[in-house]
Structure 1
Amino acid sequence: MDSLCNCKELVQIKVEADFGSDPLWCKVCGFNLDMDKMEISPSLKIQLRSWINDYGVWVKCDSDSLIVGGENLEKQHNEVGLKLTEKVKNELKNINIVFQPSTMYLDSN
């Protein structure tokens, strides 16, 4: 797995949702990792892609503000992301995996 990013060896992965990207990132160099090149089960890839497809539903894109009830949607999204991070940890045992929650609600307070 050492050719997945700009590092000599992939040692830490960050699970973080973003628009139009796979949710796995090298925590060291910040490179967005291609899940299809990783030893992750097809089932988990489907779950991760479903999770990122829901990213940002709590935001009004035209005003970059939260929709009514957006804080709860973001909280739920982060809870699912944390559970998926645990699944990634179970499948990629030799790499340190961390979760980076969405902070749009926290940033708006």
Structure 2
Amino acid sequence: MQCECGDGTNEQLKVEGDFSADPVWCAVCGANLELEELPVTAELKEELWQWMLRYGTWIDWENDAALPDAAEKASQHDAEGKELTRRLQQELGAAYTVQFSPSAAWNE
């Protein structure tokens, strides 16, 4: 897992939903990390990937606007992300610190 930090290591990770990007980032330099390179189970990788694919389901893309239930959908997505972050931290162990970045802009 290479990032752009000084020595290329990244013990500080962040789980964050985004479009067309893997859901794990270096929490220091912000580099997007390859999900497949994480030393965790294939099951957790798949769940993280599926969670990422659901990012933005609260947006009406045709009208570039939030759907009426955007806050609720974003909140549910964040709850799932928090649980996946907890599991990722558990599987990675003490060698890593994993934080979660919520979809705060949609929960306002």
Shift, 1:16, TM fit:
0.1
Query: Which residue of structure 2 lines up, in the alignment, with residue 83 of structure 1?
Result: 83
Query: Which residue of structure 2 lines up, in the alignment, with residue 6 of structure 1?
Result: 4
Aligned-residue identity in percent: 34
Query: Which residue of structure 1 lines up, in the alignment, with residue 42 of structure 2?
Result: 42
Quick one: which amino acid aligns to residue 57 of structure 2? V
- Secondary structure of the residue aligned to 1:92 is helix
Q: Is 1:69 aligned to 2:69, yes or no? A: yes
Aligned counterparts of 2:21 and 2:101: Cα–Cα separation in 1: 14
Unpaired stretches in structure 1, ≥5 consecutive residues: none
Aligned counterparts of 1:31 and 1:62: Cα–Cα separation in 2: 30
* Higher deviation after alignment, 5-14 or 93-102: 5-14
Q: So what's the TM-score if we normalise by structure 2?
A: 0.90
- Secondary structure of the residue aligned to 1:86 is helix
Query: Which residue of structure 2 lines up, in the alignment, with residue 103 of structure 1?
Result: 104
Aligned counterparts of 2:75 and 2:44: Cα–Cα separation in 1: 21
Q: So what's the TM-score if we normalise by structure 1?
A: 0.89
Quick one: which amino acid aligns to residue 21 of structure 1? A
Q: Is 1:57 aligned to 2:57, yes or no? A: yes
Unpaired stretches in structure 2, ≥5 consecutive residues: none
- Secondary structure of the residue aligned to 1:77 is helix
Q: Deviations over 1:16-74 (max 9, x none)?
A: 01000110000111100001112011000110011011100001224432101111111
- Count of aligned pairs between the two proteins: 105
Query: Which residue of structure 2 lines up, in the alignment, with residue 16 of structure 1?
Result: 16
* Higher deviation after alignment, 59-68 or 18-27: 59-68
Root mean square deviation, CA, Å:
1.2
